[in-house]
Chains A and B, each alone.
Chain A
Amino acid sequence: QLQLQESGPGLVKPSETLSLSCSVSGVSISSSSDYWGWIRQPPGKGLEWIGSISYSGRTYQSPSLKSRLTISVDTPKNQFSLKLSSVTAADTAVYYCARRTRYCSSNRCDHDAFDIWGQGTMVTVSS
């Protein structure tokens, strides 16, 4: 059964770098044509897509975060990671990792959706 699990510090100081990892079990990242992504939800706000990466390292990133964002994949460890630099209180959120799968419908096979999610990890930016 495919499972994703986020890990990383729950508290980060302002101006420092937030680092999270997502461990994937039940499938090999390198054998999958799917993408692996990060989504966050600040307290009291909606969900925000951060970015996604393929097993080969091709990335799609939110333009609003791109200048501070690094998403990478470690196929031997079967995990992928997020680094967000120069964090502020606005980066306080629950961070989710998820698998982006592609579906076929209506004569198209390019419908993307996040079909498997981790439980999420709360990261607070505070001194």
Chain B
Amino acid sequence: DIQMTQSPSSLSASVGDRVTITCRASQSISNDLNWYQRKPGIAPKLLIYAASNLQSGVPSRFSGSGSGTDFTLIISSLQPEDFAIYYCQQSYITPWTFGHGTKVDVK
């Protein structure tokens, strides 16, 4: 199975901060990398697909980049509704695997 390693596992930030989350795959996955946001009691939300494509309806402050093994999710200006847990997921080959998540909380 492809292992997905996210860092950091958690971070504290303030509204308006630029937040960067990284995800590394244990082997090359081309650009088959998705990012999700999860909040308690709410259905997880797809933010980015194919490494850099913004899902419809997702604010433009979210962006993704990378290919091969190294990927990045950036929130350009953190908003109050962005405090959540973020997961990367590879869809290159089954079994599809997820990172362990990055919790973004209030500084």
Contact = CB atoms under 8 A, between A and B. Distances in A.
Interface residues of B, number: 26
Contacts of B41: 119
Contacts of B44: 96, 98, 114, 117
A111 B50 CA distance: 6
Interface in A16-67: 45-49, 60, 62-64
A111 B51 CA distance: 10
A113 interface: yes
Contacts, number: 68
Contacts of A105: 31, 49-50, 52-53
Given A103-B49, A118-B43, A46 B31 contact: no
Q: Is the interface of A mostly helix, strand, loop or mixed?
A: strand
Nearest to B44: A117
Interface of A: 4, 45-49, 60, 62-64, 96, 98, 103, 105-106, 111-120
17 contacts: A4-B43, A46-B100, A46-B101, A48-B98, A49-B94, A49-B97, A64-B95, A96-B43, A98-B44, A111-B91, A112-B91, A113-B49, A113-B55, A113-B91, A114-B46, A119-B41, A120-B43
